[in-house]
């Protein structure tokens, strides 16, 4: 059961990380607009995209899963912080869910 839970967490977090980071790396117009609205340059947007994609990829191999969960949590925490700054409290709270899931994966993954 624990193995199944871990793989579900890995799959969900990897897909979320790749989607969120990929949108930033592709410089999607809505991402650019959001970052400009909160006063952050597109350079930081691209850096966050790299962090999110890297975190998602590091989740896949068992050897790097704990590191990946920390990187993933950091990326989503940074995103959530910007969403809170933008004044969207409800979406900011929802954006903390991947942070919690990454923390859970960190605890479940082998050391």
Could you read off the pLDDT tens digit of each residue along the chain, which spans 111 residues? 678 888 999 999 999 999 999 999 999 999 999 999 999 999 999 999 999 999 999 999 999 999 999 999 999 999 999 999 999 999 999 999 999 999 999 999 876
What is the model's pTM?
A: 0.91
Cα 84 from chain centroid (whole Å)? 15
Tell me if residue 7 falls in helix, strand or coil: helix
User: Domain residue spans in the chain?
Assistant: 2-108
Instruction: Spell out the SS3 assignment of 45-77.
Output: HHHHHHHHHHHHHHCCCHHHHHHHHHHHHHHHH
Burial call 16-40: b when 16+ CB within 10 Å, e when fewer: bbbebbeebbeeeeebeebbeeeeb
């Amino acid at each position: 059961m624990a193995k199944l839970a871990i793989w579900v967490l890995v799959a969900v977090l990897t897909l979320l990380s790749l989607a969120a980071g990929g949108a930033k790396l592709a410089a999607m117009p809505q991402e650019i607009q959001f970052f400009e609205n909160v006063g952050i340059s597109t350079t930081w947007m691209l850096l966050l995209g790299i962090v999110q994609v890297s975190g998602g990829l590091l989740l896949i191999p068992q050897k790097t899963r704990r590191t990946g969960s920390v990187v993933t949590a950091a990326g989503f925490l940074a995103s959530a912080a910007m969403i809170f700054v933008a004044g969207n409290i409800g979406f900011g709270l929802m954006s903390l869910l991947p942070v919690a899931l990454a923390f859970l994966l960190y605890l479940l993954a082998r050391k």
